């Protein structure tokens, strides 16, 4: 609560009046009179009808003193529950924003981040906000969540717009980080047409906006443009090996078109573009139901469930921690380098090794089970990051073990939170074949 005003619990019918209230008592939770009235919640608590003494013939029992005590006790319990809820809500409203750097008008940029409420986007928001820039976050909340950016809500440098970039957007900005798109295979395969639209129409809209207002635009592409690669590790000069009609094509080909569009706008319309090919990334704020290997394995391990390996587990990936990616994105935007740049951690591991690392890091006894392989699953993946090193002076700094500790801690809290609010076992989304 930025104003410092206290939330208070007001009781429309005070405790002493409960006896006299025949129908319901209404509890109104409101702020102190701070003039804002922004948080206002009403909770109606249905009470058992308590007729005034003597209302019912021979009803001495109903209106008895014991009945009374019951109801007062019940009401007290409900008040306690409400008070706990208020404490929880108060905790969620930041009392104070992090201290952002002050930038003067000349150095402060207006920056649009599409998908800014998502996993990667929200970390980038934090970084750029701390640097003192003005941020406009656009998200359709398909996979993004308000929770990821709620700590900035109300800040004078921050704006959140619920908008789907498949539709045009007319705003004035200096830079655009175009991150919007589902990125987890089960999510992007869930609605392939929407995934293609986001990466084609959405990208056209962002490039059109960049052209109109003269903004620099960074397109978030992916290691998936290399498909199931027959060159290893993958340099940016490799053209890839993608099945254009397979289940992953909506994303792989969508991102390939996004890159093609970027360079077409650069050539024809002089738009200043940057293209980041992002390799597998993990960290806090991944959705529990993300469905990618990091979140699935950690959640399974934390619950002592079997760790689900798709196929033999001999396929490889290279995992980068999200803060390294954010550094790379910012460095790329700031650079003069316009060709695609791989951003990923080149330490490669098999998925089986990865399962063991997670199990050991969590310290559980989960079995590692083999499920049917995923169609068109890339078999080897490792970025060649020579270009990023040379032109951005960038390379990942966070070792896997260190990043995993933070990520496991995050998922531990997420699980506690979800168990508290609903069920006991959380089953991560998997592409397990039935
Ligand atoms: O529960 C699981 C989930 C996944 N896996 C396997 O783990 C590997 C990694 O799978 P993920 O779903 O995490 O991610 P993928 O590498 O397939 O795709 C990712 O590539 C890079 C990014 O652009 C995207 O975030 C995403 O498309 C795959 O071989 C997959 O089959 C499992 O063995 N078990």
CA distances (Å), origin 137, targets 118, 244, 334: 10, 32, 19
Atom of ligand 1 lying closest to residue 188 CA: 27
Active site residue 251: yes
Q: pLDDT tens for residues 359-379?
A: 999 999 999 999 999 999 999
What are the φ and ψ backbone dihedral angles of 250, each rounded to 5 degrees?
Answer: -55, -35
pLDDT reported for residue 421: 73
Mutate to test the pocket of ligand 1, among 180, 310, 358, 433 (most ligand atoms within 8 A of CB): 310
Q: pLDDT tens for residues 173-213?
A: 999 999 999 999 999 999 999 999 999 999 999 999 999 99
Q: Are 343 and 320 in contact (CB under 8 A)?
A: yes
Cα 404–333–188 angle (5° rounding)? 55
How far, in Å, is the centroid of ligand 1 from the Cα of 293?
A: 5
Q: Which residue has the tokens 């929880």?
A: 88
CA-wise closest residue to 24 among 74, 99, 84, 59? 74
Sequence-ordered alpha helix ranges (H) in 308-385: 322-334, 351-362
List strand residue ranges (DSSP E) for 122-269, in order: 134-139, 158-162, 175-178, 216-222
Who's near 140: CB < 8 A, 6+ residues apart? Answer: 162, 163, 164, 165, 180
CA-wise closest residue to 113 among 84, 134, 90, 142? 134
pLDDT at 312 over 90: yes
Name the more confident of 72 and 276: 276
Q: Whose CA is nearest to atom 24 of ligand 1?
A: 183
Name the more confident of 328 and 428: 328
The complex scores an ipTM of: 0.99
Q: pLDDT tens for residues 110-139?
A: 999 999 999 999 999 999 999 999 999 999
Name the more confident of 142 and 3: 142
The DSSP output letter for 241 is: B
Strand duo 273-278 + 134-139: pairing: unpaired
How far, in Å, is the centroid of ligand 1 from the Cα of 349?
A: 13
pLDDT reported for residue 420: 77
Torsion, Cα of 247, 251, 257, 259 (10° steps): -140
Question: Picking from 57-66, 68-77, 136-145, which range would have the lowest pLDDT averaged per residue?
Answer: 57-66
How far, in Å, is the centroid of ligand 1 from the Cα of 296?
A: 10
Q: Are 180 and 198 in contact (CB under 8 A)?
A: yes
Record the tokens describing residue 112, joined without a space: 């649009």
Per-residue pLDDT band at 153 (split at 50, 70, 90): very high
Per-residue pLDDT band at 93 (split at 50, 70, 90): low
pLDDT reported for residue 130: 98
How far, in Å, is the centroid of ligand 1 from the Cα of 307?
A: 14
351-362 vs 293-302: helix crossing angle, rounded to 10: 40
Name the more confident of 93 and 186: 186
Q: Whose CA is nearest to atom 10 of ligand 1?
A: 293
Q: Whose CA is nearest to atom 14 of ligand 1?
A: 292
CA-wise closest residue to 400 among 314, 304, 312, 282? 282
Mean pLDDT of 218-231: 98
Q: Whose CA is nearest to atom 7 of ligand 1?
A: 293
Mutate to test the pocket of ligand 1, among 119, 184, 185, 368 (most ligand atoms within 8 A of CB): 185
pLDDT at 405 over 90: yes
- List residues near ligand 1 (CB under 6 A): 183-185, 222-224, 278, 280, 292-293, 296, 308-310, 315, 317, 351, 374, 377, 430
- HEC sequence for 135-169: EEEEECCCCCCHHHCHHHCCCCCEEEEECCCCCCC
Give percent of the chain above pLDDT 90: 76
Mean pLDDT of 9-23: 34
Record the tokens describing residue 396, joined without a space: 């990942």
pLDDT reported for residue 6: 37
pLDDT reported for residue 65: 67
334 CB neighbour count, 10 Å cutoff: 12
How far, in Å, is the centroid of ligand 1 from the Cα of 378?
A: 9
Please give the span between the terminal C-alpha atoms of the chain, in angstroms, as a whole number. 48
pLDDT at 59 over 90: no
Atom of ligand 1 lying closest to residue 315 CA: 29
Name the more confident of 159 and 16: 159
Cα 95 to its chain centre, rounded Å, is: 22
pLDDT at 50 over 60: no
């Amino acid at each position: 609560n930025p104003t410092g005003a206290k939330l208070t619990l007001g009781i429309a019918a005070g405790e002493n009046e409960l006896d006299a209230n025949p129908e319901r008592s209404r509890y109104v939770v409101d702020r102190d009179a701070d003039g804002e009235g922004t948080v206002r919640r009403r909770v109606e608590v249905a009470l058992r009808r308590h007729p005034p003494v003597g209302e019912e013939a021979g009803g001495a029992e109903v209106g008895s003193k014991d009945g009374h005590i019951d109801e007062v006790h019940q009401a007290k319990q409900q008040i306690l529950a409400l008070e706990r809820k208020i404490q929880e809500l108060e905790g969620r409203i930041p009392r104070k924003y992090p201290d952002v750097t002050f930038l003067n008008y000349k150095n402060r940029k207006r920056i649009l981040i599409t998908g800014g409420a998502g996993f990667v986007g929200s970390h980038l928001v934090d970084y750029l906000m701390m640097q003192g820039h003005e941020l406009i976050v656009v998200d359709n909340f398909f996979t993004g969540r308000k929770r990821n950016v709620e700590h900035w809500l109300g800040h004078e440098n921050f704006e959140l717009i619920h908008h789907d970039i498949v539709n045009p957007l007319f705003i004035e900005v200096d830079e655009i980080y175009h991150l919007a798109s589902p990125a987890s295979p089960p999510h992007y395969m869930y609605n392939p047409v929407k995934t293609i639209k986001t990466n084609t129409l959405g990208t056209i809209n962002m490039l059109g906006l960049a052209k109109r207002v003269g903004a620099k635009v960074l397109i978030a592409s992916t290691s998936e443009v290399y498909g199931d690669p027959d060159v290893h590790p993958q340099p940016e000069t490799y053209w890839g090996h993608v099945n254009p009609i397979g289940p992953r094509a909506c994303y792989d080909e969508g991102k390939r078109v996004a890159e093609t569009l970027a360079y077409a706008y650069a050539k024809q319309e002089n738009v200043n573009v940057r293209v980041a090919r992002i390799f597998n990334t993990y960290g806090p704020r991944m959705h529990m139901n993300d469905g990618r290997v990091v979140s699935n394995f950690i959640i399974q391990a934390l619950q002592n469930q079997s760790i689900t390996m798709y196929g033999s587990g001999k396929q490889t990936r290279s995992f980068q921690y999200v803060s390294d990616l954010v550094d790379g994105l910012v460095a790329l935007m700031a650079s003069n380098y316009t060709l695609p740049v791989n951003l990923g951690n080149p330490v490669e591991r098999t998925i089986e090794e990865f399962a063991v690392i997670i199990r050991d890091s969590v310290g559980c006894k989960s079995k590692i089970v083999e499920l049917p392989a995923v169609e068109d699953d890339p078999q080897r993946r490792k970025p060649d990051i020579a270009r990023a090193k040379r032109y951005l002076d960038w390379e990942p700094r966070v070792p896997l073990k260190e990043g995993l500790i933070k990520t496991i801690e995050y998922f531990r809290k997420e699980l506690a939170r979800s168990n508290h609010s609903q069920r006991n076992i959380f089953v991560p989304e998997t592409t397990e074949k039935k």
